A and B are shown apart, each in its own frame.
Chain A
Amino acid sequence: MTSLTAEELKTAYRQMRTIRDFEERVHDEFAKGDIPGFVHLYAGEEASAVGICTHLEDQDRIASTHRGHGHCIAKGVDPIGMMAEIYGRETGTCKGKGGSMHIADLDRGMLGANGIVGGGPPLICGVGLYHRMRKTRGVGVTFFGDGGSNQGTTLESMNLATVWELPVIFVVENNGYAESTSSEWSVSCDSYVDRAAGFGMPGVTVDGMDFFAVYEAAGEAIERARNGGGPTLLEVKLNRFFGHFEGDAQTYRSKDEVKMLRENRDCLKIFRAKVTQAGLLSDADLDAIDTEVAALIDDAVKQAEGAPFPSEDALLTDVYVSYM
């Protein structure tokens, strides 16, 4: 039986709200043309990142995807640095040289967003091996999408994690579309739990619109990994509110689909309804968080816009790491 205190519930809501506001704001600012590069937004999928990362500690590592902002925030990366990073400014998490798809913060256990589809799973096997050999009780969590699930790297990693009994969690964030291709057309036997079973690994499907469903299932899988039980696959069924990337005309789905999702399948609305009906938090508690987060995101954008770009002589720094 799982339960959360009022403070824990507020923290979870604050993180989900921060992700949502961050992404909505990036969407608006990107449309103005001030943000360089590509951005892929996580709005709509917040319950997955937060439901899972709430169980993680600093020594635990996550490997993310091209749609990485939500994972970063949920793992504790500073949204002000992230916004500056996306704007390509010197004050950014990676000194403005990485941008949206390469935000990494090793101090917080965030190994990086990743432009390579299926790039996270092999990295997380390395993390798993480290924790297993050092007996740290730490775990690694890798996120990938329904598109990434078809990559050889993902399948090879699932095999490796199973035979080496690594403390890792494979999280398929299944939003139903690999870029613009519906998983109905691109994934044979598209139950990911079945794929896990094929490797001899337990697999669980959860409703990614319900924070509590993700939180409970992830908690059991992570605890199992910490105790030496080996890897688990978690399929989180969710929806993205924006296109694959900003600028995606989304001709592969109807406008009504997103409207319906925002009305009926919004994890923040569902969270609010559940905790207020159960009397765990009040609307006023949640409204206060909304106000606080809105101010934080405003501040992040202001700071990013006012920050300098990296200087030319920084071009060749931070490219290679010296291990000596």
Chain B
Amino acid sequence: MVEVDPNKTLGIIANPLSSRDVRRVVSSATTITAVERANILERILLVLGGLGLKRVMMMPDRSGLCAQLLRNLRSRARVSGSPLPGVEFVDMDVSSSSLDSRRAAQRMREAGVNALVVLGGDGTHRDVASASGDIPIACISTGTNNAFPAFHEATTVGMALGVALSRQHAGFAVIEPNKRIVVRRGEEMLDRALVDVAVTREQWIGSRAVWDPASLAQVFLAFCEPSALGMSSIGSACDLVARQDSRGLAVELHPMQAAPTIEGDRNTRPPINGTAPARIAAVPLTPGRLFAVGIARSWTLELNQSHCINYRGGVLALDGEREIECRADAEYSVCLDFDGPKTLNIPLTMQAASEGRIFSTQPADTLLEASALQ
């Protein structure tokens, strides 16, 4: 039976700000409330408390998430007496910005946290990955356009984390490396993306989200899966690249005057320069909306090779959020490598746990006999 090593610590970084941006107005994006986020964390901690976890470090916030979780845990302890780990908060200033996730990840790494659970979207996971080093991350999507984290039921995430933090069964945990795309200005590293870097014609960071295909010039992708939303979906219209493939993809978009939406034809306008794009693909850039995107060409992004961005000015969007306002007089480049964060593959870990019967208390053959008798 899986037993969590009592000396191990779980870190929690739950971004209270994810799924709060303008895509709730311009499309029908999800809102996962703070109450639901606290509920997700409660389920994870109930499972892990039962498996013997004693200590949790958590990022503090000023949006009511931690307060809600503590209320839930107090109430749960009073009502059921379930064993629960102690929750400590990282001693840090709260800026209520993406800086918090970066800072918390750094502090947790310094404190020797053994595994992380992250609630957020691609942006939050990027922030955590900037400082998480080799700590395995269990990723849960609570953001908007998520290509990097997936939706998982918290209970089984708790079980998979239990395996990763266990005394004797940690070898069953499936921990994978990930790619990332490093963005540089000249030689200076500015930031890194986990899924995509988009070169936009926008003038400023503004409300951060990117939802207008007419603003896109180029997209660089670490991977593109057919079921993902956002920039990744532009890549999937050209070629599929798996997370573990040793390559990425670059796509150059056709400068259409204004991209028509597929929903209706009221915005349809001709291409700006009269030449047709190689292809117009219908892609889900934001939740609930298919946009027409003109694709000029695509090519393979080789690992560890710097690629110059041949668009001057504009704003670079990392994992779907405008982050870098480019100076017209500077050279920017991207480079794909495999130095992204380490992630806990929840389905594969649960599969290994199932095959190894490590959540069973009886010897495997006894269980088999019992089921055969029924």
- A237–B313 Cα distance when bound, in Å, is 28
A189 at the interface (CB under 8 A from B): yes
Of chain A, the residue at the smallest CB distance from B36 is A194
Let me know if B24 and A203 touch, CB within 8 A: yes
What distance in Å separates the Cβ of A289 from its nearest Cβ neighbour in chain B? 19
Let me know if B207 and A206 touch, CB within 8 A: yes
- A202–B288 Cα distance when bound, in Å, is 14
In the complex, which residues 141-199 of chain A have their Cβ closer than 8 Å to any Cβ of chain B?
A: 176, 183-184, 187-191, 193-194, 196-198
Knowing A191-B64, A213-B207, A278-B203, say if A232 contacts B25 (CB, 8 Å): yes
A10 at the interface (CB under 8 A from B): no
Let me know if A212 and B206 touch, CB within 8 A: yes
Chain A residues with Cβ under 8 A from B370's Cβ? Answer: none
Chain B residues with Cβ under 8 A from A251's Cβ? Answer: none
What distance in Å separates the Cβ of B33 from its nearest Cβ neighbour in chain A? 4
Let me know if B35 and A194 touch, CB within 8 A: yes
Chain B residues with Cβ under 8 A from A216's Cβ? Answer: 22, 206-207
- A278–B212 Cα distance when bound, in Å, is 21
**Interface majority SS (helix, strand, loop, mixed), chain A:** mixed
Let me know if B33 and A197 touch, CB within 8 A: yes
| Cβ proximity bits A111-125 to B, threshold 8 Å, 1 near / 0 not | 000000000000000
B31 at the interface (CB under 8 A from A): yes
A1 at the interface (CB under 8 A from B): yes
Q: Which of A15-23, A79-87, A217-225, A298-306 contacts B (4 or more CB under 8 A)?
A: A217-225
Let me know if B20 and A191 touch, CB within 8 A: yes
In the complex, which residues 1-60 of chain B have their Cβ closer than 8 Å to any Cβ of chain A?
A: 16-17, 20-22, 24-26, 31, 33-35
Identify A203's interface contact among B20, B68, B200, B327, CB under 8 A: B20
Identify B31's interface contact among A203, A207, A220, A274, CB under 8 A: A203
Chain B residues with Cβ under 8 A from A202's Cβ? Answer: 24-25, 31
Chain B residues with Cβ under 8 A from A280's Cβ? Answer: 203
Let me know if B62 and A184 touch, CB within 8 A: yes
Chain B residues with Cβ under 8 A from A203's Cβ? Answer: 20, 24, 31
A210 at the interface (CB under 8 A from B): yes
Chain B residues with Cβ under 8 A from A278's Cβ? Answer: 203-204, 313, 325
Among B64, B200, B212, B328, chain A packs the most CB atoms within 10 A around the CB of: B64
In the complex, which residues 162-215 of chain B have their Cβ closer than 8 Å to any Cβ of chain A?
A: 200-208, 212, 214-215
Chain A residues with Cβ under 8 A from B35's Cβ? Answer: 189, 194
B362 at the interface (CB under 8 A from A): no
Knowing A193-B24, A205-B21, say if A1 contacts B202 (CB, 8 Å): yes
- A188–B57 Cα distance when bound, in Å, is 23
| Cβ proximity bits A208-241 to B, threshold 8 Å, 1 near / 0 not | 0010110111001100100000001001010000
Identify A194's interface contact among B25, B34, B208, CB under 8 A: B34
Knowing A194-B33, A274-B204, say if A204 contacts B63 (CB, 8 Å): no
Among A1, A187, A235, chain B packs the most CB atoms within 10 A around the CB of: A1
**Interface majority SS (helix, strand, loop, mixed), chain B:** loop
B244 at the interface (CB under 8 A from A): no
A279 at the interface (CB under 8 A from B): yes
Let me know if A2 and B206 touch, CB within 8 A: yes
A277 at the interface (CB under 8 A from B): yes
Chain A residues with Cβ under 8 A from B212's Cβ? Answer: 1
What distance in Å separates the Cβ of A66 from its nearest Cβ neighbour in chain B? 23
What distance in Å separates the Cβ of A273 from its nearest Cβ neighbour in chain B? 10
Chain B residues with Cβ under 8 A from A176's Cβ? Answer: 62
Let me know if A190 and B64 touch, CB within 8 A: yes
B75 at the interface (CB under 8 A from A): no
- A188–B35 Cα distance when bound, in Å, is 10
Knowing A1-B201, A212-B204, A217-B207, say if A197 contacts B25 (CB, 8 Å): no
Let me know if A213 and B33 touch, CB within 8 A: no
Let me know if B205 and A210 touch, CB within 8 A: yes
- A6–B327 Cα distance when bound, in Å, is 18
Chain B residues with Cβ under 8 A from A194's Cβ? Answer: 31, 33-35
- A249–B97 Cα distance when bound, in Å, is 28
- A247–B53 Cα distance when bound, in Å, is 51
Let me know if B25 and A204 touch, CB within 8 A: yes
A3 at the interface (CB under 8 A from B): yes
Chain A residues with Cβ under 8 A from B31's Cβ? Answer: 193-194, 196-197, 202-203
- A28–B35 Cα distance when bound, in Å, is 44
Knowing A1-B214, A3-B203, A213-B206, say if A204 contacts B33 (CB, 8 Å): no
Let me know if B64 and A204 touch, CB within 8 A: no
B96 at the interface (CB under 8 A from A): yes
Identify A190's interface contact among B17, B63, B206, CB under 8 A: B63
What distance in Å separates the Cβ of B260 from its nearest Cβ neighbour in chain A? 15
- A126–B214 Cα distance when bound, in Å, is 38
B282 at the interface (CB under 8 A from A): no
Identify B325's interface contact among A221, A224, A274, CB under 8 A: A274
What distance in Å separates the Cβ of A213 from its nearest Cβ neighbour in chain B? 5
Knowing A203-B31, A278-B203, A280-B203, say if A187 contacts B21 (CB, 8 Å): no
What distance in Å separates the Cβ of A12 from its nearest Cβ neighbour in chain B? 12
Chain A residues with Cβ under 8 A from B62's Cβ? Answer: 176, 183-184, 190
Let me know if A189 and B33 touch, CB within 8 A: yes
Let me know if A205 and B17 touch, CB within 8 A: yes
- A280–B69 Cα distance when bound, in Å, is 46
CB<8 Å pairs between A and B, sample of 14: A1-B201, A184-B67, A191-B20, A191-B33, A191-B34, A193-B24, A197-B33, A202-B24, A202-B25, A212-B204, A212-B205, A216-B22, A224-B25, A279-B328
Q: In the complex, given contacts A194-B35, A206-B22, A277-B325, what are 7 additional A-B residue pairs having Cβ atoms less than 8 angstroms apart?
A: A189-B34, A189-B64, A190-B63, A191-B34, A197-B33, A204-B24, A204-B25
Residues of chain A having any CB pair with chain B under 8 Å: 1-4, 176, 183-184, 187-191, 193-194, 196-198, 202-207, 210, 212-213, 215-217, 220-221, 224, 232, 235, 237, 274, 277-280
Closest 4 CB pairs of A and B: A194-B33, A205-B20, A212-B206, A216-B207
